[in-house]
Structure 1
Amino acid sequence: MLAGVFRGAGRMPLEEVPDPVAGPRDVVLDVRACGVCGSDLHAFRSGQHTRDGQIMGHEFAGSVLDVGSEVDGIAVGDRLTGLPIQPCGRCRRCLAGARHLCEVWTTRSIAFGLPGAFAQRLRIPDALLGGNVHRLPDNAEFTDGALIEPTAVAAHAVRQAQPQVGEPAVVLGLGTIGLQVGQILLAAGAGPVIGVDLSPLRREVGARLGMVTLDGAGGLDAVRNGLREHLGEREVALVVEASGAAPLVAHAVDLVRPRGTIVLVALYHHRAELDAMLAVQREITLRGSANVTSEDFREALSLLGQGRVRMQPLITHRLPLEHVEEAFRTQADAVGSVKVMVTQD
């Protein structure tokens, strides 16, 4: 089969690689869509945290080509998506019930150690329906299914945030995760949900999805002024930092009200500095949010099936597998893209 194979910073040629084979507990998918994630993009550009020969791609959906003899409830032709994380089940975190924080998941998971989905076919090991694999709703497209994983990441962040109905929330960064956080906050009854981003395109998508949007180009003072315009004397109960820009962590501390909550859901490649005294004086709750669980996947699929989150407005580009390297370069344009999808008809 053909796959995009990482060959060093900025290089992902299409190569012929062996077809995956389903073991007794595995399924093999005909991959129909796979999204380019920010973590993929960082590894592609920097060459860090991935090895030569790795097939990336962990936001995927496809139809089942082969089913292992010990797999229950899954048949050839089923339309599936799945969790990339394959926890070991034996480390301290797994045994403590935090399987999504497994100590060794990055060495044994889909696109992290195991081959990923920028390929014609994908093997999902130890396939368990409702666990690490999930059926798509009947009305969902494969590209919707490929957005379930980042939507589940957003659902996990909102679970950490515990938003209150009718309380204002701010989302810093309107990439895929930020936009999906915004939609899920709205579905949970928070409001208004105010998204901040530099990109006019991303702000426009956020507005289409029901968010109030602000241009972050004017800095913290401009954002404060925009919040006053929309909230009056009300204060921000929750800030979700989804941009990955380290200086915005300090901005989040400045923007949230006393006894408010900040959730960090982005990946940070530089140290963030914040005013710890301000956090103390305001009794701010600061939480991290990492990865996804099966529960988050089920929630994301339920929200999609109910029409409470939308996927298609986020997809700004679709490219075939043959142009996977171009897909990465397109996703690198944070002003002109939201979600770039690699598709196979």
Structure 2
Amino acid sequence: MRAGVYRGAGRMPVEEVPEPVAGPRDIILDVRACGVCGVDLHAFNAGDDTLLGQIMGHEFSGAALYVGREVDGIAVGDRLTGLPIQPCGRCRRCLGGAVHLCEVWATRSIAFGLPGAFAERLRIPDAVLGGNVHRLPDHAAFTDGAMVEPTAVAVHAVAQAQPPVGEPAVVLGLGPIGIQAGQVLLAAGAGPVIGVDLSPLRREAGARLGMITIDGAGGLDGIRAGLHAAIGEREVAVVIEASGDARLVPQAIELVRPRGTVVLVALYRRLSEFDAMAAVQREVTLRGSVNVTPPDFREAITLLDQRRVRMPPLITHRLPLAEVEQAFRLQADAASSVKVMVTQD
């Protein structure tokens, strides 16, 4: 079969690779859509030698081609998506209930150690319907299904924030995770939700999905002025930092109310400096958020099924597997893309 294989910085040629082989508890998926994630993008651009030969792609959907004899509830032809994380179930974190923080998940999961979904077919090991595999709602397209994983990341982040109903919230960074965090906040009853980004395209996408948007070029003063114009206040109950720009962490702390919550749900490649006394004197809660749990995934599926989150406004590009390198280059351009999908429909 064909797959995009990581061969170093900026290189992911489509090559012939062995077909996936499934055991009795596994399924094989005919991949129809896979999104380009920021995690993939960083490795693609940075040249991570540890990933040489890896097939990336962990935001996927497709149709079941093969179902192992010990797999219950799944039939050939079922339209599915799934969690990429395959926890070991034996480390201290797994045994303590934090399976999404498994000590070794990054070496044994789909697209992280195991082959990923920038390929024609994908093996999902130890498939459990409602656990690491989920049916798509009847109305959902395969590209919607490939957006469930980033939506579940947003669900997990919003759960860390515990947003008060009817109270305003800010999302810094309107990439796919930030926009989905905004939709999940609105679905949870927060509001209004104010999204901040430099990209007009991404602000437009956020506005189409119910957010008030502010150009981040004005810095902290500009955001405060925009907040005051929109809601008559300069602070909010919850700030979700989804940009990955470490310089915005102190802004997030300054924008939250006393006893408010800041959630960091991005990848940071540099250290952040902030006024710790500002956090202390206002009793700010600062939380990290990473990965997803099976309940997060189920909630994302429910929100999609109920049409309380929408996926199409985020998807700016669809490219075939043969153009997977170009898909990565497009995803890197925040001015011209929100979410890039590699599709095989």
Amino acid at match of 1:219: G
SS across alignment from 2:28: strand
- Contact (CA 8 Å) 2:195, 2:214: kept in 1 or not? yes
SS across alignment from 2:31: strand
| Residue 192 (str. 1) matches residue 173 (str. 2) | no
What is aligned with 1:166?
166
* Long gaps (5+) in structure 2: none
Matches within 5 A, 1:68-147: 68-147=68-147
1:132-173 CA distance string (max 9 Å, x none): 000000110000000000000000001111011110100000
1:49-90 CA distance string (max 9 Å, x none): 742100000000000000111111111000100000000000
Post-superposition offset of 1:22: 1.2
What is aligned with 1:210?
210
SS across alignment from 2:51: coil
Measured in 1, the distance between the counterparts of 2:38 and 2:129 equals 27
Measured in 1, the distance between the counterparts of 2:279 and 2:285 equals 8
- Contact (CA 8 Å) 1:81, 1:146: kept in 2 or not? yes
SS across alignment from 1:328: helix
Post-superposition offset of 1:48: 2.5
TM-score by length of structure 2 reads: 0.99
What is aligned with 2:240?
240
- Contact (CA 8 Å) 1:169, 1:191: kept in 2 or not? yes
What is aligned with 2:336?
336
TM-score by length of structure 1 reads: 0.99
Structure 1 consecutive aligned stretches of length 4 or more whose deviation exceeds 2 Å: none
1:94-122 CA distance string (max 9 Å, x none): 00000000000000000000000000000
Alignment identity in percent?
A: 79
SS across alignment from 2:304: helix
What is aligned with 1:23?
23
Measured in 2, the distance between the counterparts of 1:294 and 1:168 equals 28
Amino acid at match of 2:323: H
Measured in 2, the distance between the counterparts of 1:334 and 1:234 equals 27
1:298-339 CA distance string (max 9 Å, x none): 100100110100000000000000000000001010111000
What is aligned with 1:43?
43
- Contact (CA 8 Å) 1:43, 1:50: kept in 2 or not? no
What is aligned with 1:281?
281
Measured in 1, the distance between the counterparts of 2:223 and 2:162 equals 24
Distance change (3 Å), C-alpha of 1:59 and 1:19: same
Measured in 1, the distance between the counterparts of 2:280 and 2:52 equals 45
Amino acid at match of 1:253: I
Measured in 1, the distance between the counterparts of 2:273 and 2:112 equals 30
Measured in 2, the distance between the counterparts of 1:260 and 1:140 equals 36
- Contact (CA 8 Å) 2:172, 2:240: kept in 1 or not? yes
Amino acid at match of 2:180: Q
What is aligned with 1:67?
67
**TM-align CA RMSD:** 0.8
| Residue 311 (str. 1) matches residue 311 (str. 2) | yes
* Long gaps (5+) in structure 1: none
